[in-house]
Amino acid sequence: MWSQSKRKWRSWSLMAGCVLLAACSDTPQDSAMEPQVTEPGQGNPAAALTGPGYVAEIGDDWSGYATKADLRAADLFWWWRSGDPNDHVDVVSDPTFGKALRLSFTQSQEADYVAKLSQSVPQPLDKAWYRWRVKFQPGFTTVGPLPAGYANAYKMSFWLWEGYEGRGQVEFSNTNEYIIGVSASQNGVYQRYTESVLPGSQPWGHTTTEWTDGEWWEYVIYWEKTGATTARQHYWKRPLTRGGTVVNNSWHYYGTALSGATTPRVRGITLGANKNKNNPTTQYLYWGRWEVVDGSKYPNPFGMPNLGGTTPPPTPTPTLTRVTMTPDSAVVQAGGTVQFQTTGRMSDGSTSAVTVTYSANSGSVNSSGLYTAPGAAGTYQVIARHQSGLADTSRVRVTTAPTAPTLASVRITPDSAVVQTGGSVQFSTSGRMSDGSTTAVTVTYSASAGSVSSAGRYTAPATAGTYQVIARHQSGLADTARVRVTAQSGPTFVRVILTPYRVTVAPGARTQFQAAGQNSDGSTVPISATYSTNGGSITSAGLHTAPAAAGTYHVIASNGTSADTSTVIVSGTSTPPTPPAPTLNSLVLTPYRVTVAPGAVTQFQATGQMSDGTSGPIAATYSTNGGSITSTGRHTAPNVAGTYRVIAISGSKADTSTVIVSGTTGPRLTGVLLTPFRVTVKPGAATQFSAIGLMSDGSRAPVSITYSTNGGSITSGGRHTAPTRAGTYQVFARSGTFADTSTVIVAR
């Protein structure tokens, strides 16, 4: 660390043979020798800073300092005056980068009274990259009180040479100028270089908004010692943020080639050199992450342009290609209102809010798109026009008297799905009425490949690809869903399971049976089944009515390739005997397959299928062969990519799920599955519902679910209490834009 005596340094006048990008002047300038740093760095160990494909020699991002006391303990800073420079530095929170170093300049502060940081690289470098980020308080100024001929300047940052005084610098001077260049001397004798401008260079002569806009700016300099008496110095700058948000702005470049005298090697840097001014008020300067990288190891660690002498073309700015107005049609009564909105489609495929001018050929529309219908019935147009000339039109049908709402559109859900070859997806369709309400509609389903039942159950073909499922209403309205069919890689269908498998009921009693499919991995999936019975009657949905005669009968559920049978015992009394306590038939572990990043956390849940047909969460013992898992099923993925297993055991039943750990983003949500999808219960009875997410890779995963119902009540955990009034009700599960519905039949 630097002692107090090391913080005072003598001044020196402008070198006689300087090479600066701004014109050299014969008038004296303010400059100073920097401390001859000998240790490889101070404070927070800088070699920990890394980037994509490189490791820094020295640097800091200030994350190692929680408080100002930490900075004082590190003793990183020095200056030419008496007193402690640590009084004028602090580490503060920054909304863009998390942490930043703040330098303060008080009103009474003398010229040159500025804290600085100097650090050495472990070994002198022939080629050195130096990148730093800086932000000035809005309105920051370099205007100062020094006499004519002196630079009222702030020297932001520069190189320190091995065996030489002088520097390679970037400096602000006299409010609106840059001074950038290279100087080197020994014992007052300066190296005199011949300078030539490198291809692709643009003048750096004046600042733009660096001092005033309060935004982060980024600077990069690169020193190349190409021979004993030759070198190249490259400079880049750009605005890094807009409104505090990082943007990918293009770089402003200037480069020079030097020759004719000994060129030094880099031994270190100084961050924040002297500022020759008194302050009218206290002002602040902020330093972000800075780093020095060995250019011999990493030829272009920051991906900078112009190293080859050419200027890359700028990234094209997306342009507006289309405007879209919603809704595209509407029906409204005379004098009623319709709210229209308009969005723009850009040339890069993105969408954006746009400002348009609305007009109508009858009625009126305000600047926000609120249309008021005229008093006369008819069909009219509302137009949204952008200043570019692009426009879109919506049709409005105005009626004179209240009319029954008409069907305006149909919507198929889910609108997209991913399924394996031979797998199935349940689609449903709802109608949107002219008054904005929704209703159930009858549609005809069709598919471009595979098959789809009249109830919307789609079965994928044997060939992978992307196909369409279409729901068409008799009015001609239609909607299309996209199905991506992938090759079979998951579990295969094994058999049909019919629940409950045995019931004892009174004559005429009704029992709801439910058929599900069991896969090769023990998981269960909904299926489309045909129900039949040799006693009483049964509906297509599995609701069985017992015959009047006592006896033993059977209910059969078949999906065409597999079947299962349940027993119905009809006793002569109205009160059936107490059934035996349900036992665990099977255990299902969900999700059965997930793809996650290293260290990611996944919640697994064991669900039991009971002998009386009920299902719900059960206690299980969890284990894994990769990562760790808690007793409640919370799994943490290992840091090594690979395929691992999670196992849940309850008694003699077990199930296994697969965890694929990779460095890529996992699958996206394509739908929601709510189970059970139909139950028949008594008034006030409770039923546990659960929902799982259907992912784009065919797997299932827990997702955040919002439950609701149009009859009775339901908790946030999916526990539904039936209403006291008999009837048919629905339970809804929603995650984002995806939802699923189950039916609850309340019978006395």
- Domain shared by 537 and 681, yes or no: no
The structure tokens listed for 591 are: 């999700």
Cα distance between residue 270 and residue 290, in whole Å: 11
Is residue 618 classed as helix, strand or coil in its secondary structure? coil
What CATH number has the domain bearing residue 395?
Answer: 2.60.40.60
Return the amino acid letter for 696. Answer: S
What confidence score (pLDDT) does residue 29 get? 34
Give 135's contacts (C-beta < 8 A, 6+ positions apart).
100, 214, 215, 216, 217, 285, 286, 288
Q: Identify the CATH number of the domain in which residue 87 sits.
A: 2.60.120
> What is the identity of the amino acid at 147?
P
> Is 627 domain-assigned?
yes
Residue 9's pLDDT band (boundaries 50, 70, 90)?
very low
Q: Is residue 244 part of a domain?
A: yes
308 lies in a domain?
no
Same domain assignment for residues 516 and 614: no
Confidence of residue 319 (pLDDT cuts 50, 70, 90): confident
Does residue 310 lie within any of the structural domains? no
- Coil, helix or strand at residue 48: helix
- Note whether residue 530 is domain-resident: yes
User: Residue 448 maps to which CATH number?
Assistant: 2.60.40.1080
Residues 456 and 498 in one domain: no
pLDDT in tens, 144-163: 555 544 545 666 778 889 98
160-195 residue pLDDT tens: 899 888 777 777 665 566 777 788 888 888 888 899
Indicate the average pLDDT of the chain: 82
Select from 617, 641, 666 the last residue of a domain.
Answer: 666
Q: How many domains does one find in the chain?
A: 6
What type of residue is 445?
Y
Instruction: Give the pLDDT confidence score for residue 629 in this predicted structure.
Output: 95
- pLDDT score for 648: 93
Kindly indicate the confidence band of residue 452, based on its pLDDT and cuts at 50, 70 and 90: very high
Residues 393 and 420 in one domain: no
Domain end call among 445, 469, 486: 486
- Decide which of 380, 399, 418 is a domain's last residue: 399
Secondary structure in 3-state letters for 278-307: CCCCCEEEEEEEEEEEECCCCCCCCCCCCC
What's the pLDDT score for residue 180? 77
DSSP lists the bridge partners of residue 398 as 332, 378
Neighbouring C-beta atoms of residue 283, cutoff 10 Å = 20
Residues 561 and 521 in one domain: yes
pLDDT above 70: residue 665: no
Amino acid 185: pLDDT: 82
Q: State whether residue 510 is helix, strand or coil.
A: strand
More confident position, 200 or 50: 200
Closest CA to 677 of 601, 732, 618, 609: 732
Give the pLDDT confidence score for residue 519 in this predicted structure: 80
- Tell me the percentage of the chain whose pLDDT exceeds 70: 83
Per-residue confidence at 275, pLDDT binned at 50, 70, 90? Answer: low
The answer to whether residues 393 and 364 belong to one domain is yes
Residue of higher predicted confidence among 448 and 155: 448
**Boundaries of domain holding 744:** 668-748
- Say how many CA atoms lie within 13 Å of 238 toward its Cβ: 16
Whether 313 is covered by a domain: the verdict is no
One domain, residues 418 and 473: yes
Share of the chain above pLDDT 90, in %: 41
CATH number at 519 reads: 2.60.40.10
Residue range 319-343: mean pLDDT, rounded: 91
395 and 414 housed in the same domain: no
Asked whether residue 261 carries a pLDDT value surpassing 80, the answer given is: yes
Write down the pLDDT at residue 76.
82
Q: Judge whether residue 610 has pLDDT over 90.
A: no
The two beta strands, 642-650 and 653-661, are antiparallel
Highest mean pLDDT among 178-192, 584-598, 660-674: 584-598
- Identify whether residues 623 and 691 lie together within a single domain: no
Residue 33, pLDDT > 60, answer: no
Lowest model confidence (mean pLDDT) among 97-111, 259-273, 359-373, 625-639: 97-111
Q: 615 and 661: one domain?
A: yes
Looking at per-residue confidence, does 238 or 580 come out higher?
Answer: 238
Mean pLDDT of 310-322: 64
- Per-residue pLDDT, 1: 25
- Each residue of 194-245: pLDDT tens digit? 999 998 888 877 777 777 778 898 999 999 999 999 999 999 999 988 887 8
Between 5-14, 54-63, 300-309, 537-546, the lowest mean confidence (pLDDT) is in 5-14
Q: Sorting pLDDT into bands at 50, 70 and 90, what band is 10?
A: very low
Q: How confident is the model at residue 338 (pLDDT cuts 50, 70, 90)?
A: very high
Do the domain assignments include residue 713? yes
User: pLDDT (tens digit, 9 = 90+) per residue, 67-88?
Assistant: 888 888 888 877 666 667 777 8
State whether 589 and 575 are in the same domain.
no
pLDDT recorded at residue 24? 32
Please tell me which residue, 50 or 448, carries the higher pLDDT value: 448
- Radius of gyration, alpha carbons of the chain: 37
State whether 48 and 178 are in the same domain: yes
| Residue among 625, 621, 630, 623 at smallest CA distance from 601 | 630
For 176, the token pair is 């609106």
Structural domain contains residue 615: yes
Q: Of 48-52, 503-507, 642-646, which gets the smallest average pLDDT? A: 48-52
Q: What is the pLDDT of residue 128?
A: 94
Q: In sequence order, which residues have a C-beta less than 8 Å from that of residue 533 and are 6 or more positions away?
A: 544, 553, 554, 555, 556, 568
